[in-house]
């Protein structure tokens, strides 16, 4: 989404606040405005943004009514108290939206960040994985860092990076039976219908062995009900794969059954 359209959407919800002030939290008009505003903020800034979380936390209701008093009863706010809390929250929304517009205006990479698809995000994480690992080794005062010895180490760190962008990450989901056996996938992003398969090269896992394993995985995931895209991430820190680009091209494909994206990094 570009800056102009993002500002236009937020401004429309901001302008509607004055009209919504004439109603109350139970009104149809408020509920429509609230749900539309939530969708706008989610689509522009994301569900993990501070703006979305702050808006989602607003109650538009007096806080005192939630405090129990004698005889296990709760305080019932007056009509004036309800209206005052309602208007106060709407005023807070108005201030928040001013901040949203300002952040969009001054952001240098807003359009880049807001045009990345879930697939783009996973690809970017995989491509920058080795660079991030090298940075993690440069710790202050030579403190201990993380060593990557096998695929489990790669999975653990990749899971951490994915958590920065996705809420529902399901590690080691079972795949449907294939050739008489079932296995686990490394990561399933169920909502995005993306499966991520992780490999780490070693002395006995080079070009031919990696290719053979991934070919089996590709055939297996064709029947997975929650997989439209399979991203095969091969971490090759010691450059054991002779022709990474060639192997990627051999494995990559896009059909009605499955979109396969292979990333060998670094290379």
Please give the model's pTM, rounded to 2 decimal places: 0.59
CATH of domain 118-265: 3.40.1350
Give, for all 267 residues of the chain, the pLDDT tens digit: 788 999 999 999 999 999 999 999 999 999 999 999 999 998 888 887 899 999 999 989 886 444 455 556 666 788 998 999 999 999 999 999 999 999 999 988 777 666 678 998 999 999 999 999 999 888 888 888 888 999 999 999 999 999 988 988 987 655 554 444 445 678 999 889 999 999 999 988 888 899 999 998 888 888 888 899 999 999 999 999 999 999 999 999 998 889 999 999 998
- Interatomic CA distance for residues 251 and 260, integer angstroms: 7
Which helix or strand (DSSP H or E) is residue 94 part of? helix 79-106
90 and 17 Cβ atoms separated by less than 8 Å = yes
Measured in residues, the chain has a length of 267
Domain ranges across the chain: 3-110, 118-265
The helix/strand/coil state of 41 is helix
Q: Which two tokens stand for residue 47?
A: 């569900």
């Amino acid at each position: 989404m570009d800056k102009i359209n993002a500002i236009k959407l937020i401004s429309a919800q901001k302008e509607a606040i004055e009209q919504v002030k004439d109603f109350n939290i139970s009104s149809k008009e408020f509920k429509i405005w609230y749900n539309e505003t939530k969708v706008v903020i989610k689509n522009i800034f994301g569900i993990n943004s501070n703006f979305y979380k702050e808006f989602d936390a607003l109650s538009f209701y007096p806080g005192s009514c939630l405090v129990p008093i004698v005889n296990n009863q709760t305080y019932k706010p007056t009509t004036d108290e309800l209206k005052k809390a309602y208007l106060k929250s709407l005023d807070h929304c108005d201030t928040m939206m001013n901040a949203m517009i300002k952040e969009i205006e001054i952001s240098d990479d807003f359009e880049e960040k807001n045009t990345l698809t879930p697939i783009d995000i996973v690809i970017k994480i995989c491509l920058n994985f080795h660079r991030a690992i090298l940075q993690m080794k440069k710790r202050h005062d030579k403190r201990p860092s993380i060593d990557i010895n096998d695929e489990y180490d790669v999975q653990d760190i990749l899971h951490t990076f994915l958590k920065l962008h996705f809420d529902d990450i399901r590690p080691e989901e079972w795949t449907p039976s294939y050739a008489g056996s079932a296995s686990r996938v490394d990561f399933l992003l169920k909502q995005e219908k993306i499966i991520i398969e992780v490999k780490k090269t070693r002395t006995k896992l080079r070009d031919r062995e990696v290719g053979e394993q991934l070919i089996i995985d590709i055939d297996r995931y064709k029947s997975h009900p929650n997989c439209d895209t399979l991203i095969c991430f091969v971490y090759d820190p010691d450059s054991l794969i002779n022709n990474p680009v060639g192997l990627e091209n051999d494995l990559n494909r896009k059909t009605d059954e499955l979109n396969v994206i292979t990333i060998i990094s670094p290379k």
